[in-house]
Amino acid sequence: MALAPRGVITWWRGVDRTLLFTILALIVTGLLLSMAASPAAADRLNYPDPFHFIYRQGVFATLSLAGLLFVSSLSVKGARRLAALALVGSLIVMMALPFIGHEVKGATRWIRIGTFGLQPSEFLKPALIVTAAWLFAEEKRGAPIPGRIIAFGLYLVAVALLMIQPDFGQTVLLTLCFGGVFFISGLSWIWVVGLGGLAAAGSAAAYMTFPHIASRVDRFINPESGDNYQIERAVEAISRGGVAGVGPGEGEVKHFLPDAHTDFIFSVAAEEFGLIASLSIIGLFSIFVIRAWMQAMRLTDHFAQLAVAGLGLQFGLQALVNIAVNLNLIPPKGMTLPFVSYGGSSMLALAFGAGLMLAFTRRRPGAYSSRYAV
């Protein structure tokens, strides 16, 4: 029994507290905003309990924190193996989705477990990033395995399964993160140009193949070509909030937007708490990403460097996409704001990714270059 407290003390001394406290701040922010937006969502969906989503968000937050603490306590090897298992599990479930999946808004991305909907692609992202980082690092150190070929094979399988659902937004995010890890691993500019051209060709093919993608792009370019109700209301809410906001509970957008508590939670925050709250949320994500990349540069293990940089890129890009959609800067993607939006599957997967990052950045003998004090 004496080992447990000692283990907690060792973990506390080694964990990156800046990353940990930033994650906790984002989760608390999400809970507070859930109190603002969720009762209206419960009313729109005819739930008898106005606190239905708040209670569920609290449960998801508790489970996510427990999972985060467990994963962050693993060794580098243990965390890497867990990511590989998560990748295999995610791919298997995604292969089965056409047969056992639950369809929502024309997309089959979830499996139902009681009242809970699990989206395996959310867990696929951090798992593939970490596994690809290991494969790239192994090939670079001279291991007798075709690391890049295997990584690309896994990536192509993941993209194919995502497009079957279909989920173009997650495909774009996964591609950017995978490309980022590949570039950091020592990719030449010839590969950069070639893969950039391939990505552009894939985007054009998706536009011509999937009507819903073409519709979103067309409505973004020409708002009069279709229904932009959610985007227009979100932008109006942000403008209405001004600097100080209209006040807690006084916002209007949450009563009209179907996704106000999920994809458009940033608009709810901006309307009720103003520019100050909006910049605070952006600041938290900025601190998280900058800290992750700073620590990645200081690590001595090339695999850990790639994994932490890739996971930091995933969090940063997902937040950037969500906020950009709320501001009508890019076509809508249907992507959550990490740890802030309502959603159990998303929060659990994000906690898994954050736990991996904390595991890789924990201070251990020889983990960091002696040039840096951490």
The tokens describing 219, both together, are 């409505």
The confidence score (pLDDT) of residue 310 equals: 96
Question: In whole angstroms, what is the distance from residue 227 CA to residue 248 CA?
Answer: 29
Predicted TM-score (pTM) above 0.75 = yes
Is residue 2 included in any domain, yes or no? no
CA torsion sign for 259, 260, 261, 263 is positive
Tally the domains of the chain: 1
The tokens describing 20, both together, are 């940990």
Give the other-Cβ count within 10 Å of 104's Cβ: 11
User: Is 54 in a helix, a strand, or coil?
Assistant: helix
DSSP string, 159-188: HHHHHHTT-HHHHHHHHHHHHHHHHHTT--
The confidence score (pLDDT) of residue 2 equals: 39
Return all residues near 27 (Cβ < 8 A) that are at least 6 apart.
61, 64, 65, 339, 347
The tokens describing 181, both together, are 């890890």
Is residue 366 included in any domain, yes or no? no
Is residue 259 included in any domain, yes or no? yes
Question: What is the block-wise mean pLDDT of the chain (374 residues), using blocks of 10 residues?
Answer: 65 93 95 87 83 89 95 95 96 90 74 80 95 92 85 93 86 90 81 75 76 74 71 88 86 83 90 92 96 95 95 95 91 86 90 97 85 52
Is residue 149 included in any domain, yes or no? yes
Q: Which amino acid is at 278?
A: S
Is residue 369 included in any domain, yes or no? no
Is residue 133 included in any domain, yes or no? yes
Domain of 97, in residue numbers: 14-361
Is residue 236 included in any domain, yes or no? yes
The confidence score (pLDDT) of residue 374 equals: 47
Question: In whole angstroms, what is the distance from residue 10 CA to residue 73 CA?
Answer: 10
Q: Which residue has the tokens 């140009």?
A: 193
Return all residues near 14 (Cβ < 8 A) that are at least 6 apart.
362, 363, 364
Is residue 371 included in any domain, yes or no? no
Q: Show the beta-strand stretches assigned E in the chain.
A: 102-104, 107-113, 116-118
DSSP string, 264-322: THHHHHHHHHHHHHHHHHHHHHHHHHHHHHHHHHHBS-HHHHHHHHHHHHHHHHHHHHH
Question: In whole angstroms, what is the distance from residue 41 CA to residue 80 CA?
Answer: 39
pLDDT digits 0-9 by tens, 104-158: 766 778 788 777 778 899 999 999 999 999 999 998 887 788 888 999 999 999 9
Contact 182, 149 (CB under 8 A): no
Number of H helices, E strands in the chain: 13, 3
